[in-house]
């Protein structure tokens, strides 16, 4: 069993790194092929790197890597080593990809003379790339790191945080582009990127609830605990109204992307099981999302003693 769990953990780790690389590739396509050659501002470190490229002709890969190294040094304590390792991996992959694509597409080749379409398509690629990175516990660095820090403590949309951080940077691109029209295209890029990011992130966080009735409920629960150690099940005593038989009702809550696995598992154990699936609006607790609420501080009496909030009048 231990070997099987180790193999599954290794598979998940490898999958995470592969998907982060896919996300960085998507982001690199949007940035280097559609946005940068068409002089459309971007947000975060990528936006700063673009401004320095247009103004001083400094390679974006150099600026991007140096600025992210500084941010990661600051974020290491807050976000933890695991997040930073994957973010470092994402930054390195994106740095290499920007160098390659920058050499392959130095001038506008796609949608040249159509900045609005370039902004929309480039933003879509960037939003998907950012979402893939964050969904698999990594990121492309830059404002993603700021958003991840804020999102860790407050229930604020990741896309909204990145949008607020990046607005100033896009506005600053006017200093080198001297065109408010290009700045507006940059705003369009930010809005679409944040929208696509939220859509992909929220779809990956959707959860479902299973109600399972089966005579082989123990085997089903054992299989869930063995193959998905981060998930568990609940058994409720129930009674069939028509038959009058005592039955066991198994309740399982899991991510939507794991639903197909649950169906296959049930079918392997008991093809005659009765199963219902329903969408749940939010799941909080171990293995799912964390509560992000502001803690109320205790009030103190004139004598300096702490009082519960409802006793403070």
What is the per-residue pLDDT across 87-116, written as a single tens digit (0 to 9) for each? 888 889 999 999 898 888 777 667 777 889
Residue 258 is part of which domain span? 206-280
- Residue 124: predicted pLDDT: 94
Backbone angles phi, psi at 17, to 5 degrees: -70, -35
Residues 134 and 265 in one domain: no
* CB-based contact 196:258 (threshold 8 Å): no
Residues 211 and 238 in one domain: yes
Identify the CA nearest to 19 among candidates 188, 137, 179: 137
Contacts of 77 (CB under 8 A, 6+ apart): none
- Residue 3: predicted pLDDT: 62
Rounded Cα–Cα distance for residues 185 and 174 (Å): 11
- Residue 311: predicted pLDDT: 40
Question: What's the number of CA atoms in the CB half-sphere (13 Å) around residue 248?
Answer: 13
Asked if residue 155 belongs to a domain, the reply is: yes
Q: Is the pLDDT of residue 81 over 90?
A: no
Asked if residue 291 belongs to a domain, the reply is: no
Domain edge (last residue) among 175, 204, 233: 204
Residues 250 and 194 in one domain: no
Residues 211 and 167 in one domain: no
Asked if residue 288 belongs to a domain, the reply is: no
Which residues face 233 on adjacent strands?
252
Asked if residue 97 belongs to a domain, the reply is: yes
Domain of 216, CATH number, reads: 3.30.70.120
Residues 211 and 190 in one domain: no
Asked if residue 302 belongs to a domain, the reply is: no
Residues 187 and 217 in one domain: no
Residue whose structure tokens are 């290491």: 76
Residues 154 and 272 in one domain: no
Domain edge (last residue) among 180, 204, 228: 204
Residues 196 and 254 in one domain: no
Rounded Cα–Cα distance for residues 81 and 61 (Å): 24
Residues 210 and 199 in one domain: no
**Range in 201-215, 220-234, 241-255 with the lowest mean pLDDT:** 220-234
The count of structural domains within the chain is 2
Chain segment 29-58, per-residue pLDDT in tens:
999 999 988 899 888 888 889 999 998 889
Q: Is the pLDDT of residue 293 over 70?
A: no
Contacts of 188 (CB under 8 A, 6+ apart): 116, 119, 120, 123
Kindly report the pTM of this predicted structure.
Answer: 0.67
Asked if residue 225 belongs to a domain, the reply is: yes
Residues 46 and 195 in one domain: yes
Residues 119 and 52 in one domain: yes
Residues 237 and 195 in one domain: no
- Cα→Cα distances 276→233, 266, 296, Å: 15, 12, 40
Domain edge (last residue) among 146, 172, 204: 204
Asked if residue 12 belongs to a domain, the reply is: yes
Contacts of 10 (CB under 8 A, 6+ apart): none
Asked if residue 307 belongs to a domain, the reply is: no
Pair of tokens at residue 116: 């609005």
Q: Is the pLDDT of residue 79 over 50?
A: yes
């Amino acid at each position: 069993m231990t070997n099987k769990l180790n193999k599954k953990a290794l598979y998940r780790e490898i999958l995470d790194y592969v998907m982060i690389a896919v996300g960085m590739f998507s982001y690199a396509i949007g940035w280097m092929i559609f946005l940068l050659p068409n002089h459309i501002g971007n947000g975060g470190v990528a936006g700063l790197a673009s401004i320095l490229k247009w103004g001083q002709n400094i390679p974006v890969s150099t600026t991007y890597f140096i600025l992210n190294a500084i941010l990661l040094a600051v974020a290491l304590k807050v976000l933890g080593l695991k997040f930073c390792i994957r973010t470092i991996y994402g930054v390195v992959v994106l740095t290499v990809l920007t160098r390659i694509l920058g050499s392959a597409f130095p001038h506008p080749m796609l949608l040249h003379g159509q900045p609005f379409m370039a902004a929309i398509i480039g933003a879509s690629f960037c939003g998907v790339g950012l979402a893939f990175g964050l969904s698999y516990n990594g990121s492309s660095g830059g404002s993603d790191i700021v958003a991840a820090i804020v999102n860790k403590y407050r229930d604020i949309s990741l896309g909204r945080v990145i949008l607020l951080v990046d607005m100033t940077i896009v506005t600053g691109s006017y200093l080198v582009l001297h065109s408010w029209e290009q700045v507006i295209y940059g705003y369009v890029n930010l809005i679409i990127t944040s929208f696509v990011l939220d859509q992909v992130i929220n779809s990956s966080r959707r959860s479902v609830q299973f109600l399972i009735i089966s005579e082989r409920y123990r085997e089903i629960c054992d299989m869930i605990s063995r193959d998905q150690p981060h998930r568990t099940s609940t058994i409720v005593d129930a009674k069939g109204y028509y038959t009058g038989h005592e039955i066991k009702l198994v309740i399982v809550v899991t991510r939507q992307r794991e639903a197909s696995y649950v169906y296959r598992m049930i079918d392997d154990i008991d093809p005659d099981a009765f199963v219902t699936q329903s969408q749940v609006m939010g799941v909080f607790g171990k293995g799912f999302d964390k509560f992000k609420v502001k803690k109320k501080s205790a009030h103190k009496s004139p004598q300096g003693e702490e009082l519960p909030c409802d006793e403070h009048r």
